[in-house]
A and B are shown apart, each in its own frame.
Chain A
Amino acid sequence: MLGRTLREVSAALKQGQVTPTELCQRCLSLIKKTKFLNAYITVSEEVALKQAAESEKRYKKGHSLGDLDGIPVAVKDNFSTAGIETTCASNMLKGYVPPYNATVVQKLLDQGALLMGKTNLDEFAMGSGSTDGIFGPVKNPWSYSKQYREKRKQKSHGENEDSNWLITGGSSGGSAAAVSAFTCFAALGSDTGGSTRNPAAHCGVVGLKPSYGLVSRHGLIPLVNSMDVPGILTRCVDDAAIVLGILAGHDPKDSTTIQDPVKPFALPTLTDVSKLCIGIPKEYLTPELSSEVQSLWSKAANLFESEGAKVIEVSLPHTSYSIVCYHVLCTSEVASNMARFDGLEYGHRCDIDVSTEAMYAATRREGFNDVVRGRILSGNFFLLKENYENYFVKAQKVRRLIARDFVNVFNSGVDVLLTPTTLSEAIPHTEFIREDNRTRSAQDDLFTQAVNMAGLPAVSVPMALSSQGLPVGLQFIGRAFCDQQLLTVAKWFEKRVQFPVIQLQELMDDCSSIFENEKLASVSLK
């Protein structure tokens, strides 16, 4: 049951084949078994069971709230959840219990979803590995998959199997791992420079970044206000569309959400791609791109072409500057956003009482890790009077050029762009930490962050396993507010490539009873 799609489980719940409480308990038990992944910071067991009981009552009466009623979900720990600790994996907010729910969390709860817990991330969502939070790094479930282990056994024997575990990517690594390991059906992440798509690609799940302005950011602890977007992680594109349908829409509490009416949509099943034009940005073919990812990218392009789509090479000339531009804008906005953490109204507070400034400084030193402090200081540098024009305003101008590049490409008739999501498959943690956070972010965000600067929707879809048995995902980028079209194309692609299910055999042996029940009469989908 845990391996089914949202629609299938929802139908099963309606037909009484499984109850929300059973579903909840299975997920909770799996969360306990996969604790070593460190995907969850807080597991809200009591809350989830209570929600499950309420959902069950609704199903008994035949009044389910919708497709998400009774479905376990997880939320990244930088979304405010009323009554549940929200830490952003930082000492600054350790013990902080928000008095309100983020709008997207509220929308999920209003639909009856069961909140399993808050997932792990890089501190304040700064990073591309989910390794820099105070609760420790998140381990990629694929490190323990049969597919990966078999390939490793061929290479080396007798090595300690756990010492070389792989990163999930970041910063929404906890959410990606939670979905990948079947502990929930959907998870919320946040995407500022690729933080949802990057771990999605490394963990073999679908990672959707909606258009900026489509989904409310109210309650999402902000990193870069002009680029942040709540992200959605699921095991298939259809599920992501269902969740997007629920989360999208104007929010009076977030004035950067557009006012156009948004209705939940069912994704059409595309059969004819002959009218589709796929763009391949040539600047994305960089020397750092691994040959395996490159060949999968080619294969995908050929797939579309062979089925009748028009596949053309396009140019995004300012691509090479996008990382630098992002670096300046991100650190500048971070410097501003992190200024709210002074220890007075919430969060950590140090013991110094000499003066306000001394207290603020000590609180912030104790509360933030090096990465966050580094970004704040860099940001303050770029915002100094003497630097403002040359760095910050300059970066804003370059941002316009980058956004324009995309507009030009889409105006020339391209419907969707196809690019890699990451440079390679997930790497071992020991290798990842050889470079510092900023360097890694600069490297890993290459294909993903230009999208954030232009505010476009993008989705990472797992395509195939690498020669090491690890997932590789490809990214589709759509026109602003054409999320439905984007997901339609992604769904077509997903169906064609048939990405394999992760085989977590050792874990599943314990849960074998769950899978024996799979042989029940097939679920009928109305």
Chain B
Amino acid sequence: MWVRAVWLGLRASAGGRRGFSSKADPQGSRRVTAELIEHLERLALVDFGSQEAVARLEKAIAFADRLRAVDTDGVEPMESVLEDRCLYLRSDNVVEGNCAEELLQNSHRVVEEYFVAPPGNISWPKLDEKEPFSHR
């Protein structure tokens, strides 16, 4: 519950738009801006939830920056260790399926044979328009 208080507190003090912000990192440039946070939250559809999480992202980025020290000139990216082999493909024949009922059982909201979703044409609200979520 304290996280919600922090969230609200930050919103109030930052005047709404800048929910979370990062302190300037040692290199002087502001890496994790409020815009970035909003952008990532929107792409991932997962929220940071706290200042701690933002700090963790900063640490993760700083950690990843160590890769710059490696000389990778002329090195091709490696996607899979099995790159020298041919990917196996099955023949395009239907051999299983017909299990709609089983699959529908796992969903919370189902109507006849449809998975029911809320309306999809409503865009994700901007930071200052959002209702503060209740945290566990």
Contact = CB atoms under 8 A, between A and B. Distances in A.
A99 interface: yes
A345 B106 CA distance: 7
Interface in A312-337: 318, 321, 324-325, 327-328, 331, 335
B126 to A, nearest CB: 12
Interface in A425-439: 436, 438
Contacts of A9: none
A359 B109 CA distance: 12
B106 A97 contact: yes
B78 A324 contact: no
Interface of B: 36, 39-41, 43-49, 53, 56-57, 59-61, 63-64, 66-70, 72, 75-82, 85, 87-90, 99, 102-103, 105-109, 115, 117-125, 133, 136
Contacts of B66: 321, 324
Of B72, B99, B123, chain A has the most CB atoms within 10 Å of the CB of B72
B81 A397 contact: no
Given A345-B103, A355-B118, A480-B81, A361 B47 contact: yes
A436 B59 CA distance: 12
Nearest to A211: B81
What does DSSP make chain B's interface, helix, strand, loop or mixed? loop
Given A358-B118, A358-B122, 11 more contacts: A99-B105, A212-B81, A259-B88, A349-B108, A370-B49, A373-B46, A374-B53, A378-B61, A382-B64, A395-B64, A455-B81
Contacts, number: 183
Interface residues of A, number: 72
A400 B78 contact: yes
B67 A378 contact: no
B46 A361 contact: yes
A356 to B, nearest CB: 4
Contacts of A366: 136
A255 interface: yes
Given A365-B133, A373-B46, A258 B82 contact: yes
Nearest to B99: A99
Given A343-B108, A355-B120, A226 B44 contact: no
A321 B70 contact: yes
A298 to B, nearest CB: 30
A526 to B, nearest CB: 38
Interface string A360-377: 111011101010011011
